[in-house]
């Protein structure tokens, strides 16, 4: 079996160790004997929406977001829609998450987003929302916890009826006010959690890998268990940091 990851704007959108998410996906595939294919897609480049199982966009500073936004909306929007409509998964972190929405409003103007989910983000003059964060999700039946680190000036607001990725247990989440964190719309996931996200939450990595493989190889695909002692410890440490910050 092969798992095919498409990384959008790997040079610009990668702050807070987001490259670790990609490395983690690679390792968890390789440890199981699953081939891993990584394709980068930068400004001015296209991609085949049928040739990848997961699309990943990492975090970026406001200036990075400005650099990629024109290309994202002008050059890649239709390809991304087609990719998602085919049922593939998309994971976007922080700056990448903000760009999934309708717009990101900064003091001096607006960055147009993909409009893939009905959310929008507004840059605040208030202090940035920074620190450890823990959320409770409904992604699988056991409502697993996600832990990470957030650092964003933008506040994200969900349109009516739009589901968050989870509820904040500790930390700020989308906007520091309504207790929501991230967004989940079908196979699209957006979140403010860096850290990077996946090494501290390997269940989410496996969920993404398994979903991708099942689309290609059938519903019987089951990932083998790995020895996740260190990964579980990383999760616990991050959770303790978030809870002690309350
Ligand atoms: N530039 C965005 C903000 O500050 C996102 C930052 C990030 O990706 N950490 O809100």
Asked if residue 246 has pLDDT above 80, the reply is no
Average pLDDT, integer, range 30-51: 98
Kindly report the CA angle at 58 between 162 and 9, in degrees rounded to 5?
115
| Parent domain of 95 | 2-244
* 195 band by pLDDT with thresholds 50, 70 and 90: confident
Q: Is the CB of 60 under 6 A from ligand 1?
A: yes
Residue to probe by mutation, ligand 1, list 15, 56, 98, most atoms within 8 Å of CB: 98
Asked if residue 143 has pLDDT above 80, the reply is no
**Which is catalytic among the residues 94, 120, 152, 172?**
94
Asked if residue 242 has pLDDT above 90, the reply is yes
Average pLDDT, integer, range 53-71: 95
Q: Is the pTM of this model over 0.75?
A: yes
* 230 band by pLDDT with thresholds 50, 70 and 90: very high
* Count: domains in the chain: 1
Residue to probe by mutation, ligand 1, list 154, 194, 196, most atoms within 8 Å of CB: 154
Q: Is the CB of 94 under 6 A from ligand 1?
A: yes
Asked if residue 215 has pLDDT above 90, the reply is yes
Confirm if 5 and 38 have CB atoms less than 8 A apart. yes
C-alpha 123 to ligand 1 mean position (Å) = 9
Task: Dig out the tokens for 153 from the structure.
Answer: 């000036």
Q: Is the CB of 124 under 6 A from ligand 1?
A: no
Query: Is 244 exposed, middle or buried, given 0-12, 13-18 or 19+ CB atoms closer than 10 A?
Result: exposed
What pLDDT was estimated at residue 138?
A: 87
C-alpha 32 to ligand 1 mean position (Å) = 34
Average pLDDT, integer, range 187-208: 96
Query: CB within 8 A of 169, min separation 6: which ones?
Result: 134, 135, 136, 145, 242, 243
* 16 band by pLDDT with thresholds 50, 70 and 90: confident
Average of per-residue pLDDT values in the chain: 96
**Biggest alpha carbon distance in the chain?**
51
* 177 band by pLDDT with thresholds 50, 70 and 90: very high
Q: Is the CB of 75 under 6 A from ligand 1?
A: no
Average pLDDT, integer, range 85-111: 96
Asked if residue 163 has pLDDT above 80, the reply is yes
Average pLDDT, integer, range 32-52: 98
CATH code where residue 141 lies:
3.40.50.880
Backbone φ and ψ for 194, nearest 5 degrees, come out as -100, -165
Q: Tell me, yes or no, if 94 is annotated catalytic.
A: yes
């Amino acid at each position: 079996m092969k798992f095919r990851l498409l990384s959008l704007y790997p040079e610009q959108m990668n702050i807070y160790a987001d490259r670790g998410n990609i490395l983690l996906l690679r390792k968890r595939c390789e440890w199981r004997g699953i081939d891993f294919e990584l394709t980068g897609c930068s400004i001015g480049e296209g991609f085949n929406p049928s040739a990848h199982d997961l699309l990943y966009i990492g975090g970026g500073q406001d200036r990075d977001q400005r650099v990629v936004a024109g290309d994202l909306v002008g050059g890649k929007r239709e390809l991304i829609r087609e990719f998602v409509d085919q049922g593939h998964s998309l994971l976007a972190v922080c700056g990448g998450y903000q760009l999934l929405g309708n717009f990101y409003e900064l003091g001096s103007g607006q960055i147009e987003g993909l409009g893939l989910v009905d959310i929008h983000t507004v840059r605040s003059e208030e202090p940035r929302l920074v620190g450890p964060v823990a959320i409770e999700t409904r992604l699988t039946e056991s409502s697993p916890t996600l832990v990470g680190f957030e650092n964003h000036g933008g506040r994200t607001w969900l349109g009516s009826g739009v589901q968050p990725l989870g509820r904040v247990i500790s930390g700020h989440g989308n906007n520091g006010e309504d207790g929501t964190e991230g967004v989940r719309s079908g196979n699209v996931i957006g979140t403010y959690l860096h850290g990077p996200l996946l090494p501290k939450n390997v269940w989410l990595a496996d969920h993404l890998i398994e979903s991708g493989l099942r689309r290609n190889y059938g519903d019987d695909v089951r990932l083998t268990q790995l020895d996740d002692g260190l990964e579980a410890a990383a999760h616990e440490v991050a959770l303790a940091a978030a809870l002690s910050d309350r």
